[in-house]
Structure 1
Amino acid sequence: MDAITIREIVDATGGQLLAGKEDAVVTGVCTDSRIFQQGDLFVALLGENTDAHRFVRQVAEQGGKTFLISESDAAEALADANVILVRDTLAGLQALTHYYLDKIGVGKIAVTGSVGKTSTRDMVYYILSEKYKTGRPIKNYNSDVGIPLTVFTFDSTMEMAVLEEGMEHAGEIHRLADMTRPEVAVITNVGISHLENLGSRENIYRAKMEITDFFGRDNVLIINESCDLLKRSRIHGDYKVITAGETGTEDYVVSDIRDMGLEGVSFTLTAGGESREFRLNVPGAHNALNAALAVAACAQYGVTMDQAAEGLRKLQLTGKRLKVREARGIRVLDDSYNAAPDSVKSAVRTMEATPAERRVAILGAMNELGDDTPALHYEVGRYAAEHGISLVVGIEPKAAEIVRGAREAGCDALYFDEKEDLYPELPKLLKEGDLVLTKASMTRHFWEIADKIING
């Protein structure tokens, strides 16, 4: 992070300097007292369960010199410190993020979507990095707090930034777009994640489209037109729209997709009269469309197809996404980061395209699906049974419908109430030559199952 002065923080946040020196500087931003470092601005956020104002004294004792607070009483514990009072510390953090992005002057591409946004974000990063010094999110940070923490790891030596913008409710992407003001945005798809909160796919579409709320004539929206709700004809904003898809009518046309299972994917991409073959060393045929969106986004900054292909050749996905792990002759496809019906089906298709003596799917709850939760879990179970899975293992109550669907489609299936009930059975259930998928919503921590299989 480039150093910024207390005066800059006060001006950017609209705060009041209660104590301290305007010309003092900070060299980092922190919201967690446990990882505070010397030189950080400590932002005392008010969370659902914790008020970080309780920890300002502790941070001061650790050497903290600069604080952003919304409770003036907290200043009493901060002798000899720079103390900035704002009405709302989260809003202050986001205003400072907006200011800092302008200050360092990076180009900005933002990615959102129901499924595939983190993978597409990673692809954008690897492609851009062939031409520019590029920053990307820490871990899976894509929220009101996560994006600021990412941005404050950037500095003015960076030329480009790729950001991920997530949501659970309407209005959230609007706030993130206001904070980041991307020049180019990508919407990967509109699925059924968040149905519980938003009620319909049409409402999810509107929420995703908030990423364009601050767009003008110089901005570009990249959409996956293979998604039924993402059509150029539906979009009427005063900005450029570029499409990718498989029908042959899009600006970026994906064809000749070859799913090689765990070995990856190859495909042909055609744009502007130029065609090129691409190879991804990560599994999942759906990633061909994600890659097309990433190539289209990076082309807005002069990245060539050849540069894009070289960047994608180096691609490594963040976190527990389609990671292949192996021990004792058992291969595990660890796709535990998150789950929705479409992403589970995609992982099953990857399994189906991979040679194996036996394919086992260990599946758990898919969250935020609303009234359709039982039916969608049942559908996933049937789909797994019909696409090469020999044994389905469902864990926790929602997954009981996955098991029912698999059984009714003629597949062997087992149900366990909790992960811990499965662990003693793993040595008996799995054998050399098995290919095993672990997948559920992130809150279920299914990577722990993958770890148990690998570590024995």
Structure 2
Amino acid sequence: MYNAESISKTLKGELLQQTGNPGIEHILLDSRKLSFPETSLFIPLVSSRRNAHQYMDELYEKGVSNFIVSEAPAQGKFPKANIILVKDTMAALHTLVASHRLQFHIPVIGITGSNGKTIVKEWLYQLLEKDYNIVRSPKSYNSQIGVPLSVWQMKAEHNIAIFEAGISQPGEMEHLEKIIRPTIGIFTNIGEAHNEGFLNIRQKINEKLVLFSKSELLIYCKDYPVLNECVLNFHNVVGRKEGQDGGLQLFTWSRKTEADLRIISVDKNDNHTRIDALYKNEPIHISIPFVDEGSVENAIHCWALMMHLGIDQSVIRQRMDLLGNIAMRLELKQGINNCSVINDSYNSDLGSLKIALEFLQQQQQHPSRTIILSDILQSGKSDASLYEEVASLLQQKGINKVIGIGKNIFREKKSFQQIISLKSSFFQTTEEFIQQFNPQDFQHETILLKGARIFEFERIGKLLEQKVHQTILEINLSAVSHNVKQYQALLKPGTKLMAMVKAFSYGSGSFEIANLLQFHGVDYLAVAYADEGVELRRTGITMPIMVMNPEPSSFDAILQWNLEPEIYSLHLLQQFEEEVQIAGKTGFPVHIKLDTGMHRLGFEKKDIPELARLLSENPYLKVRSIFSHLAASEDPSKDELTRQQGKHFFEMSHELQKALGYFVIRHIANSAAIQRHPDLQLDMVRLGIGMYGVDSGTEMQEQLRPVSTLKTTVSQVKHLTAGDTVGYGAKWIAKGPAVTATVRIGYADGYPRRLSNGVGKMLVRGQLAPVAGVIAMDMVMLDVTLIPEVTEGDEVIVFGEHLPVQQLAAWAETIPYEILTGISQRVKRVYFEE
């Protein structure tokens, strides 16, 4: 057990004050993820955008008493805290966890590469869980922050560890190697992912190989020539250094040349792949329930490791045949009876449970939170202590109801029943729960499904999830977070961020996106109309919300729900002031819109004197911000117009702010201007479509991730002969034998009718299929003549990562905004976090 004194000695830090020696079990880096205050150590990290020392007050009030800081607090500010002062909190985090790692003398598997790291890690867990008590990285925790949090999980009860490591620039892997210190390495493959920070692919490989500097064994595929060459050079240097016993050994596999594991054949049949190989001149084979090349490669890496560990081939074959899909994301779907359902039902362990509960905690749309939880497997703890910890965690996270499924959790139900605020019920099997299932037991709540694979919680998911049209829009919340961070990285220190969530968040949803933005500390939200803001308030959004098009009929709602209207004319100002007076309110926040050249809405320069007179010393209204709208910030040929708008804004806002006599936020920069016109960032910027992965600039677009994927399915396949026509008006005629696929989407779903007759295309089995005929209200026909084996139920991508919405917009001769906002509300949204 660690305490402040022992950690201070490890870090060679200065123990500024010590008021006790409580045991420390948990490292806390994010104040929003606090679960166990008494046993947590908060390490505030400092970046160009955020200094986490500002959260110390909040955490101290919540009971945290152990801190590692790089900025000494005022003497006596935290009288009951233990505070260790270091030069760099990130370096301290790495040093502390590296020291923790050295206490364990067990096999530690380190995995790196461009793709497949998480799949290989999770498959190894599935394959080895019967033989070992395993500690592994939660989800994809492989960064400079994720790796320390993963390794800190190592406990005396574990007898093997599996950690993944990823880097984005030179020098990072050296830190991760000291933390993981793998005894066995797996290099999955090498590709173009995350190349931006490296000079070339060789530099990227060599940087990743640093992870194995002190390893005993490295497993890799020889079939990547550059990787093989770099590994051999690395082995010549590292394999004989520091007098290691035998040095670094290589375990190679190949489908092309001689190797330790020589792959002879890969035969795919239906949904299985048989892999035959030679190992030590003996024929061996496995079969896996997957046919894609990535899965074949990942399985062979796992096969090689299992052989190194001495597991019998018959056992390997049996377990490989039972490999299951790995859910790489948490999904949020609409449920029955106005519920939301979070599906995370592929494993159940403490690490992933905490992550899922944090995602659940973000959701504010329902007053009640429920978790359906299976037995937690392979914890290494006694059932009594394990479920006491789980019950305490649920209490800390504000869970209202728990439904436990499994013999172990059923036996330990007293741990949950003793918590007065937690309603609980227990079942020994999933089948028992399903037999007693009553839909009316679930009303207006957010439900988290968290179960190990063997409990088949997907059966429960089908009961709880609202039956939906097979055309869905998938929203990647992790991509939204990534895109926001990309723009935040461009902001000057102190510049605030307003996120535009108008028009149903550009088609991506309302409270789902707003919950995420609120959780990540965005400063403001903006909606088009008051009813959008009211809906966000009703679903638990408490942050400031600006209404950009307030109507007099909505003033009551604005005042009732504490929304902040945009004021763009003297008449509107006087109307709203009267409503505020009648409501008996004072100092109500408003936002003043200036017209600097867009000529749409806003006060002009001639209005400023009268506006200043009406607002100065006004007891009813307080100006929260002054802003304007750029007309063409994305267009280099219009940069002079943008500069003129900026000049007008500076002059007009300065005159108005001088009359007000108090500080007012000023903002004019939109998504494009954040990067193209940094001089216009001012006090706040407004991030709109860039947050959803679309930017007009090539340089910025390359740094963004697509957020939305619109997909549907094939409902029927038709085999036509020459002369057959397709669709309304018989506009499309088969020139010869042809095959069409009818898919479940139409113009009522938001697929533009102008994409008819070959103008638009969709992805079927990874290939582009042109639209055949005229788009109907609910259906589109595709020409799939050149795409073999298309069948009913096949997935069809309308737009997404491999068919950008920008391309769809170009075919339709419009802009991405119109495509995204035009997606019908009957198209169900499925939200997920990676």
In the superposition, the TM-score normalised over structure 2's length comes to 0.41
> In 2 relative to 1, CA 272–42 (structure 1 residues): closer, same or farther, beyond 3 Å?
same
Structure 1: distance between partners of 2:217 and 2:310 = 14
Q: Deviations over 1:303-339 (max 9, x none)?
A: 3334434444244424149x9999769599989789x
Residues 415 and 183 of structure 1, relative CA distance in 2, 3 Å threshold = farther
Distance 1:73 1:421 in 2: 48
Say if 1:223 and 1:293, in contact at 8 Å, map to a contact too.
yes
Structure 2 residue corresponding to 1:301, chosen from 309, 329, 343: 309
Q: Aligned residues: percent identity?
A: 20
Please give the alpha-carbon distance, in whole angstroms, between the structure 2 residues aligned to 1:118 and 1:299: 20
Paired position in structure 2 for 1:109:
109
Q: For the Cα contact (< 8 Å) 1:265–1:285, is it kept in 2?
A: no
Q: Describe the shift of the 1:31–1:88 C-alpha distance in structure 2 as closer, same or farther (beyond 3 A).
A: same
- Give the superposed CA RMSD: 4.3
Partners of 2:818 and 2:198 lie apart in 1 by: 29
Partner of 2:122: 122
Find the aligned partners of 2:819 and 2:32 in 1 and give their Cα distance: 30
Distance 2:787 2:172 in 1: 37
One of 295, 298, 303 as aligned partner of 1:290: 298
Instruction: Give the CA deviation at 1:42.
Output: 1.1
Tell me which residue corresponds to 1:99.
99
Q: Which residue of 2 aligns with 1:5?
A: 3
Separation in structure 1 between the aligned mates of residue 154 and residue 258 of structure 2, nearest angstrom: 38
Shift of residue 122, structure 1, vs aligned partner: 1.4
Rounded to whole Å, the distance in 1 between the matches of 2:2 and 2:819 is 47
The answer to whether the Cα contact below 8 Å between 1:332 and 1:450 also exists between their aligned partners in 2 is yes
Worse overlay, 157-166 or 97-106: 97-106
- Aligned partners of 1:394, 1:157: CA distance in 2, in Å? 47
- Tell me the distance in 1 between the aligned counterparts of 2:107 and 2:52: 33
1:171-320 map, 5 Å:
171-212=171-212, 214-215=213-214, 219-231=216-228, 233-235=232-234, 236=236, 237-238=238-239, 239-259=248-268, 263=271, 265-282=273-290, 284-312=292-320, 313-320=322-329
Rg larger for: 2
1:136 corresponds in structure 2 to 136
Compared CA separation, residues 256 and 63, structure 1 to 2 (3 A): same
Change (3 A) 1:320 1:133: same
Asked whether the 8 Å contact 1:381–1:404 carries over to 2, the reply is: no
CA contact (8 A) 2:806 2:815 kept: no
Distance 1:396 1:303, change over 3 A: closer
Which one is further off, 236-245 or 387-396?
387-396
Cα deviation, 1:47-83, whole Å, max 9, x if unaligned, reads 3422111111111111112111111126653211111
Q: Which residue of 781, 806, 824 maps to 1:424?
A: 824
Could you say which residue in structure 2 is the equivalent of 1:49? 49
Structure 1 counterpart of 2:227, which letter? L
SS at match of 2:100: helix
Could you list the per-position Cα deviations for residues 142-195 of structure 1 after superposition, in whole angstroms to 9, with x for gaps in the alignment? 011111112223311001110010111112122111221101111111111122
Instruction: Sort the Cα spacing of 1:331 and 1:300 in 2 relative to 1 into closer, same or farther, 3 A.
Output: farther
> Which amino acid in the other structure matches residue 15 of structure 1?
G
- Over residues 359-400 of structure 1, what are the superposed CA-to-partner deviations in whole Å (9 max), with x where a residue is unaligned? 98xxxxxxxxxxxxxxxxxxx999633765896533589936
Amino acid at match of 1:78: F
Paired amino acid for 1:175: H
1:394 match? 799
* Residue in structure 2 matched with residue 384 of structure 1 by the alignment: 767
Query: Partner of 1:292: helix, strand, or coil?
Result: helix
The ranges of structure 1 where at least 4 consecutive aligned residues each deviate by more than 6 angstroms after the TM superposition are: 323-329, 331-338, 380-383, 400-405
SS at match of 2:218: strand
Contact 2:11 2:96 (8 Å CA) reproduced: yes
Contact 1:259–1:285 under 8 Å retained in 2: no
189-198 vs 308-317, which deviates more?
308-317
Contact 1:130 1:307 in 2 (8 A): no
| In 1, Cα distance between equivalents of 2:224 and 2:210 | 17
Unpaired stretches in structure 1, ≥5 consecutive residues: 339-353, 361-379, 428-447
Unaligned runs of 5+ in 2: 240-247, 331-345, 347-457, 480-713, 718-740, 744-762, 769-785
- In 2, the alpha carbon distance for the partners of 1:299 and 1:333 equals 43
Asked whether the 8 Å contact 1:106–1:156 carries over to 2, the reply is no
Q: Is the contact between residue 56 and residue 74 of structure 1 (CA under 8 Å) also seen in structure 2?
A: no
Match 1:25 to one of 23, 26, 31: 23
SS in 2 for 1:317: coil
Does structure 2 conserve the Cα–Cα contact (< 8 Å) formed by 1:359 and 1:391? no
Which residue in the other structure is 1:377 paired with? none
Q: Say if 1:258 and 1:266, in contact at 8 Å, map to a contact too.
A: yes
Alignment of 1:79 onto 2:110: no
Higher relative contact order (CA 8 A, sep 6+): 1
* Equivalences for residues 304-343 of structure 1 within 5 A: 304-312=312-320, 313-320=322-329, 330=470
Distance between the aligned counterparts of 1:173 and 1:29, measured in 2? 21
Structure 1 distance, partners of 2:473, 2:281, is: 37
The answer to whether the 8 A contact 1:186-1:222 is kept is yes
Cα 1:10/1:310, change in 2 over 3 Å: farther
Deviation per residue, 1:200-259 (Å, 9 max, x gap): 2222222222222x326xx11111222232216444231111112212522123343344
Q: Measure, in 1, the Cα distance between the counterparts of 2:475 and 2:318.
A: 25
Deviations 1:423-453 (A, max 9, x none): 32985xxxxxxxxxxxxxxxxxxxx96559x
Aligned to 2:364: none
Query: Is the contact made by 2:106 and 2:160 (CA closer than 8 Å) also made in structure 1?
Result: yes
Relative to 1, partners in 2 of residues 1:97 and 1:302: Cα closer, same or farther, differing over 3 Å?
farther
Q: What amino acid is aligned across from residue 302 of structure 1 in structure 2? A: G
Secondary structure of 1:279's match?
A: strand
Give secondary structure in 2 for the equivalent of 1:195.
coil
Cα distance change on mapping 1:193 and 1:426 into 2, 3 Å: farther
Check 1:172–1:66 CA distance in 2 against 1; reply closer, same or farther (3 A cut): same
Letter in 1 for 2:223: S
Amino acid at match of 1:420: L
Q: Does the CA-based 8 Å contact 2:45-2:52 persist in structure 1?
A: yes
